[in-house]
Amino acid sequence: MVRTGLGSLGVGVFGPLVGGLFVQHSTWRWCFYINLPFCGIGLILVHFFVRFQTDRSSLREKLVRVDWIGGFLFISSLTSFLMGISWAGIQFPWSSFRTITPIVVGTVGILLSLLWERYGARQPFLRRCLFYSSSAVAAYVCAFCQGLVLFLALYYVPFYFMAVHFATATKAGINIFPVTCFLLPSSAIVSVLITHLGRFRWALYLGWTITTLGSGLPILMAVRGENIKTAEWVGIFVVFGLGNGIVLTSVNFAIQSIARGEDCARAASMYAFFRTLGMTIGVAVGGTVFQNMMSYKLEQLSQPTSINHYLLYSPLYS
């Protein structure tokens, strides 16, 4: 785990800067294109370096074991729900059937997928054995919340600097360094301490306390606006990065410790699933809140709300 954290340190720290350079000097699409060669290299290296002792079976048997129905129900339902949330108050009014229908369909579909996982699937991807205790459920909820909180900040902090301080995309990527520079090192250090001490609860309590503080301090940025000093917002982001780094590792340790021995691999996958789910929902809900509040403020200032739609559909972002 420590090696993984240190290995991804360079990517985590310099990723926002590289993305800012692409956006400012090329096109935002390169933020996605740049991943393709690394994915290809990883796919090749896995074949040579990853060795697992697994039960040998044919391709047909492997395909049969996949929970296709559960996966389709959950993914399509979540997509429908997020589409409705993304449209609400922006493309269509909250009361519009075009908004309500995908939200309702998505909610019902998610419930049906959970029922299918419970009663119908032979090899469910949401296994009951992983949620056998309240501690396990709490750990997965923590993974979800951590992904949501972290990616809300990583997504909207650069946007704040570009909108309020008129920073370039590159400068906004540099400004988020205090978060990324402290997130992964603190995660690696805490993993060493947990391994040495044999306890993880202290890290959970400490991490969530610091993360809560770091999530509340940005209120000062809203109050001070463009008058906030550099040392102040750097300190805020340092606190936020430290807290999230501690939570990142401690939740992973908690899930591995709580899971039964034979379920450790599935528990690790479920941790990644819930954390990614939190990231997805966090960015989608954050965008909806931002767009709706922007329209509300424009109306208060007697300004046309079409400004909001122009920003949303501007060729600059397409």
| Sequence spans of domains, the chain | 2-33+133-317
pTM score over 0.85: no
DSSP 120: I
Helix (H, G, I), strand (E, B) or coil at 90: coil
Which residues, at least 6 apart from 222, have a Cβ–Cβ distance to it below 8 Å? Answer: none
Q: Pick the residue with more confidence: 91 or 207? A: 207
Q: Give CA angle at 291 (287, 293), nearest 5°.
A: 115
pLDDT (0 to 100) of residue 4? 45
Distance, in Å, from the CA atom of 34 to the CA atom of 26, rounded to the nearest integer, reads 12
Distance, in Å, from the CA atom of 156 to the CA atom of 172, rounded to the nearest integer, reads 10
Token pair in block for residue 82: 């997020």
If you count DSSP H runs as helices and E runs as strands, how many of each does the chain have, helices first? Answer: 15, 0
* Residue appearing with tokens 């306390």: 209
Handedness of CA 69, 74, 80, 83 (dihedral sign): negative
Least confident of 12-16, 177-181, 226-230: 12-16
Q: Are 286 and 82 in contact (CB under 8 A)?
A: no
Distance, in Å, from the CA atom of 170 to the CA atom of 153, rounded to the nearest integer, reads 17
* Residue appearing with tokens 């709300």: 305
Least confident of 23-27, 45-49, 130-134, 241-245: 23-27
Backbone φ and ψ for 198, nearest 5 degrees, come out as 75, 15
pLDDT (0 to 100) of residue 77? 94
The rounded radius of gyration (Å) of the Cα atoms in the chain is 22
Token pair in block for residue 278: 């939190």
Residue 33 CB-density burial (10 A; 0-12 exposed, 13-18 middle, 19+ buried): exposed
pLDDT (0 to 100) of residue 3? 45
pLDDT (0 to 100) of residue 242? 93
Topology of 2-33+133-317 in CATH?
Answer: Growth Hormone; Chain: A; (1.20.1250)
pLDDT of 88 above 60: yes
Identify the top-confidence range among 46-50, 173-177, 199-203, 288-292.
Answer: 199-203
312 confidence band (pLDDT: 50, 70, 90): low
13 confidence band (pLDDT: 50, 70, 90): low
- Per-residue CA distances from 280 to 48, 112, 260 (Å): 32, 21, 28
pLDDT (0 to 100) of residue 109? 94
Q: Pick the residue with more confidence: 193 or 89? A: 193
Q: Pick the residue with more confidence: 7 or 32? A: 32
Residue 100 CB-density burial (10 A; 0-12 exposed, 13-18 middle, 19+ buried): middle
pLDDT (0 to 100) of residue 54? 65
Identity (one letter) of the amino acid at 80? S
Region 260-267 average pLDDT: 82
pLDDT (0 to 100) of residue 308? 63
